[in-house]
Amino acid sequence: MLSCRKLSYTVGDFTLRDFSLELNRGDYCALLGPSGSGKTVILELIAGLRPLKKGSVLIEGKEYTRTPPQHRPVGLLFQDYALFPHMSVYENIAYPLKIRGIDKVEIRETVHTFAEDLDISRHLNRMPDTLSGGEKQRVALARTLVIHPLLLLLDEPMSALDAPLRESSVALLRSVSAKGITILHVTHDPSEVDSLANRRIYLGNSSK
Amino acid sequence: MQYSKNYTSIRLIFLFLSGLMLLFIVAPLLGLFFSTSLPGLFETFRDSEVTNSIGLSLGISALFTLLAGVFALPLAYIMARREFRGKAFIQGLIDIPIVLPHSAAGIAVLGFISRDSALGKFADILGFNLVGSPFAIGIAMAFVSVPFLINAARDGFQAVPERLEQAARSLGASPFKVFRQISLPLAKPSIITGLVMMFARGMSEFGAVVIVAYHPMTTPVLIFDRFNSYGLDYARPVAVLFIIICILVFISLRLLARKRKGT
């Protein structure tokens, strides 16, 4: 489903060399490694946020190496969730649909469906800065899922959550995974993905 | 005990120096206001030459501020987001109008729009003479004031986390949509501050404007003309009136910007 072949990238002092990864459809893969091991860079290369100089990215057999991020079938959940602070929760979730030119009625229906699914319906009129960490994560997840990505990239999704919220976050990600979406979950904490991942990849500092 | 005594003396010295600084700003303005009679001020307000010049100053400055925005905002965005060779040089270029003597800036603008220049020749073919036109006034105003807009907007764009732009890209937005829907609204308070600063600086410009167009007269040129031809008593009411209008416009725009920020 996802095929990363010999990705190489240099930024500042950090160098990624010949990183390869193959994921099957429906996989929940944990990419583990300490800070500075290049986990986030790999996600950004797959999402197209960094231009790849060497190597290739294929999704469902189709070449996406030079495709701009907005045309890749990839959803990325950022570590800090990156909710747009000038938009309400509703507008945040509706944003990817609006830029695709979907009509207002359909947008409203889709946003409400996902909001209900992720238990954030009562927050739709709130602004992001009034939400807790767990609520922000659900909103960011809803915003990413409305575009029906084939591949979901999670960048340290639980690092901003307190211990009690992590359990509900695990349950939430399990339910997303159960829908059949292929997930690549980056974390430095192996316990976070104990009950989630069917595959684990360890990155050392060797690439540095 | 010694520490407390030192602290009090420093505080007193700072208060004294700050008071002198504020007095330095306020005293000439108060002197100007107190030495102008109210009937004289009303008479000036009815003087069509004065009101026309005020309308001209405000109108041209507003128009050229908005026009400059079309070019200044993309430049500010590039300066905020991109790292490239020669960036420090470009930033230096942007700041040049701030450090130039304004009369020298006027001479530079005059060379740019005179009949010998490419722009001047082009206008000549179309039957226009740019020198002495409202266009020349606008160019002179924009030349000396546009760095305020570019720098304020650049600071505003820099304060927008790049993560938000990346998030929008990954959600399907093109670079232009990211600029229009994410970067621009989030940098808006700084951009409005920059527009207000550019507008205020432009409408009060004298040095550069007087070189490219003595007529039609903007208010700063009119104040100079009246002072030069008739003396202080004739220039003062015009100066007071223009200062009042400048302050009113400045306060209104700041309030508008604050209200927008609040909503």
Residues of A in contact with B181 (CB under 8 A): 95, 99
Query: Do the domain assignments include residue A207?
Result: no
pLDDT of residue B3: 64
Q: Do B163 and A143 touch (CB under 8 A)?
A: no
Give me the domain span that covers residue B105. Answer: 36-262
Q: What percent of chain A has pLDDT over 70?
A: 98
Residue type, B224: F
Cα distance from B248 to chain A (closest Cα, Å)? 30
pLDDT, one tens digit per residue, over A141-176 is 999 999 999 999 999 988 877 777 788 888 888 988
3-state secondary structure chain B: CHHHHHHHHHHHHHHHHHHHHHHHHHHHHHHHHHCCCHHHHHHHHHCHHHHHHHHHHHHHHHHHHHHHHHHHHHHHHHHHHCCCCCHHHHHHHHHHHHHCCHHHHHHHHHHHHCCCCHHHHHHHHCCCCCCCCHHHHHHHHHHHHHHHHHHHHHHHHHCCCHHHHHHHHHCCCCHHHHHHHHHHHHHHHHHHHHHHHHHHHHHCCCHHHHHHCCCCCCHHHHHHHHHHHHCHHHHHHHHHHHHHHHHHHHHHHHHHHHHHHHC
* pLDDT, average across residues B216-224: 96
Residues of B in contact with A69 (CB under 8 A): 166, 169-170
Nearest to B167 among A74, A82, A86 (CB): A82
Q: Chain B within 8 Å of A120 (Cβ-Cβ)?
A: no
Identify the pLDDT of residue A53.
84
Q: Which two tokens stand for residue B239?
A: 């100066």
Confidence band, pLDDT 50/70/90 cuts, at residue B261: low
- The whole-angstrom separation of Cα A72 and Cα A82 is 19
CATH code of B185's domain: 1.10.3720.10
Question: pLDDT grade, residue B262 (50/70/90)?
Answer: low
pLDDT score of B1 more than 70:
no
Query: How far, in Å, CA of B220 to CA of B129, rounded?
Result: 23
Q: Are A171 and A161 in contact (CB under 8 A)?
A: no
B255 or B2, which is more confident? Answer: B255
- How confident is the model over B147-194, as pLDDT tens digits? 999 999 999 999 999 999 999 999 999 999 999 999 999 999 999 999
* Inside any domain, residue B3: no
- Using a CB-CB distance cutoff of 8 angstroms, which residues of chain A are in contact with residue B163? 78, 80, 82
Structural domain span for residue A124: 2-202
Report how many domains make up chain A: 1
A150 has a chain B CB within 8 A of its CB: no
CATH at A63: 3.40.50.300
B243-249 average pLDDT score: 90
Output the pLDDT for position A193.
Answer: 86
**B1 lies in a domain?**
no
Q: pLDDT band at residue A206, thresholds of 50, 70 and 90?
A: very low
A178 falls within a domain: yes
Say yes or no: A51 contacts chain B, CB-CB below 8 A. Answer: no
Could you give the number of structural domains in chain B? Answer: 1
- Does B92 fall in a domain? yes
Q: Which of A48, A78, A100 sits opposite B167 (nearest CB)?
A: A78
Residues of chain A with Cβ-Cβ distance to B167 below 8 Å are 76, 78, 82, 84
Closest in B171, B174, B182 to A96, CB measured: B171
pLDDT at B263 over 70: no
pLDDT at A133 over 80: yes
pLDDT digits over A102-123, tens only?
Answer: 999 999 999 999 999 888 999 9
Count of all residues that appear for chain A in the document: 208
Q: Is residue A69 situated within a structural domain?
A: yes
B195 located within any domain: yes
Query: Is residue A208 in some structural domain?
Result: no
Percent of chain B whose pLDDT exceeds 90: 79
In B, minimum Cα distance to A50 occurs at B166
CB distance from A47 to chain B under 8 Å?
yes
A25-51: pLDDT as tens digits: 999 999 998 888 889 999 999 999 999
The pLDDT of residue A208: 34
